Structure 1
Amino acid sequence: MSLSKKLKLRKAKERDYTLVDLERALKNAKGNDLKYYEILTKGIVPDVVDDVEHNVTGLFVKYPNANSLLGNELSPTETADEPDCMWSIKEEKEDESWFTISMTDPDAPSRESPKFREWQHWLVVNIPGMKIHEGEHLTEYFGPSPPKGTGLHRYVFLLFEQPGKIKFNEPFKGVSDMAERKSFKTSAFMKKYKLGKPIAGNYFVAKSAK
């Protein structure tokens, strides 16, 4: 589905957004007209997944005072709270569609030495339509906290369409479960639950403020 099509993203907290909004913001941020697929895969393949769907669409990630724009730099302070996420979905399929959204850091503890790749920041499964708050939170949101002196880290959001509602056999990870978050493998999780390639994605970068 082309970013140039005016496909309406469903309800946000404050206002409605469209994929055209995201396309415009991406062009302003990047200064070019590269296709979304090309920009996204350059930033996350093969460190997070081997590939995404070639007709991948925009995943709008909105924080209270900032947006993720395919590689723009945000601060840990700006991204401390769980974001709003929106994506394109056919209205007639909304009541019968289930999704998984994940956020990971493939650069833990640093991009030069990512021995903890990937650090899991957020994982919500069995999302009905676009109602993330009604999904099953397997990993509670924990904002970026890159160690001092480790440079920029990528924070990758991926959206998967599930074949239906799935029974996920995974332990819950709260904000205090730090050790359990390291060395998560998105690609292995995809294969385990037969999720297929990501249908939407986004990412930003951040570094320690210290």
Structure 2
Amino acid sequence: MRTRQQFNCDMKKLEIVLLCATVSLWKPHGVCGECVAETLSEFDAGFCHGGLEVIYPELTIGVCRIIPREQRDKISGEWGPPQVQLTHAEEGKTYALMMVDPDAPSRCNPTQAHWRHWLVADIVGSDLKNGDFKGSVLSEYRRPTPPKNTGLHRYQFMLFEQPADKPLGLSQEESSSLGKWDTEAFMKRFGLGTPLAAVQFLTQNPKD
């Protein structure tokens, strides 16, 4: 009997075949061993909402997108934590930000999802509005570094309104590992609810 993961991968292969047959300009990368056009799917594009902007030195990400090949070296090896801005953030509120990779080690085999790349709490609304916040760093920023031959990875930024009566923190078990982070359990534990705003970019190993 096929597992749900096998079924999902088979469906992905079918999508890939159709995509490669209909898109004339494509560049191959591995997903379940097949070729894929570097075109954002409707599913991936639909993740972004709320006007959140992630700002790197030469790149502003305000909508879901794929990182251009010429900038993958920089985002993986040079650029540090981006500025994050929400122009309509409320000055009297406090926010929390998480960045995760749900495709670790690959989208077809995400056994290490979610991989935690950044977690910041106690972000003051006025600072978030200006795109220059400090906050309490609960998990240091780690650059997107997808393994070779694993295709495109999604890197998701999610912003939450932080309840005033619940200081955020990682458990000892969560702090001991970046992989297999149960984001839903974390959100539920602190009453974060659904993200107020979210944005994601896709990139892959620069040497692929």
Per-residue CA shift, 1:53-109, capped at 9, x if unaligned? xxx41101110011223122251523531001101335xx40x20000010000000
The verdict on how the C-alpha distance between 1:195 and 1:40 changes in structure 2, with shifts beyond 3 A counting, is farther
Q: RMSD of aligned C-alpha atoms?
A: 2.8
Contact 1:124/1:139 (CA < 8 Å) preserved in 2?
yes
Which amino acid in 1 is paired with 2:96? T
Contact 1:121/1:143 (CA < 8 Å) preserved in 2?
yes
Q: Percent identity?
A: 35
* Residue 194 of structure 1 pairs with residue 191 of structure 2: yes
Report the secondary structure of 2:52's partner residue.
strand
Contact 2:160/2:197 (CA < 8 Å) preserved in 1?
yes
Report the secondary structure of 1:101's partner residue.
strand
TM-score under structure 2 length normalisation: 0.66
Which amino acid in 1 is paired with 2:58? N
The verdict on how the C-alpha distance between 1:165 and 1:59 changes in structure 2, with shifts beyond 3 A counting, is farther
- Where does residue 20 of structure 2 map in the other structure? none
**Structure having the larger proportion of residues in helix:** 2
Contact 1:66/1:78 (CA < 8 Å) preserved in 2?
no
The whole-number CA distance in structure 1 between the counterparts of 2:134 and 2:65 is 29
TM-score under structure 1 length normalisation: 0.66
Structure 1: segments with no counterpart, 5+ residues = 1-38, 46-50
- Where does residue 78 of structure 1 map in the other structure? 75
The verdict on how the C-alpha distance between 1:190 and 1:76 changes in structure 2, with shifts beyond 3 A counting, is farther
Give the number of aligned pairs: 157
Contact 1:126/1:166 (CA < 8 Å) preserved in 2?
no
> Offset of 1:44 from its aligned partner?
8.3
> Offset of 1:43 from its aligned partner?
2.2
The whole-number CA distance in structure 2 between the counterparts of 1:114 and 1:61 is 24
Per-residue CA shift, 1:103-154, capped at 9, x if unaligned? 0000000001000011000000111114364311001001101000001000
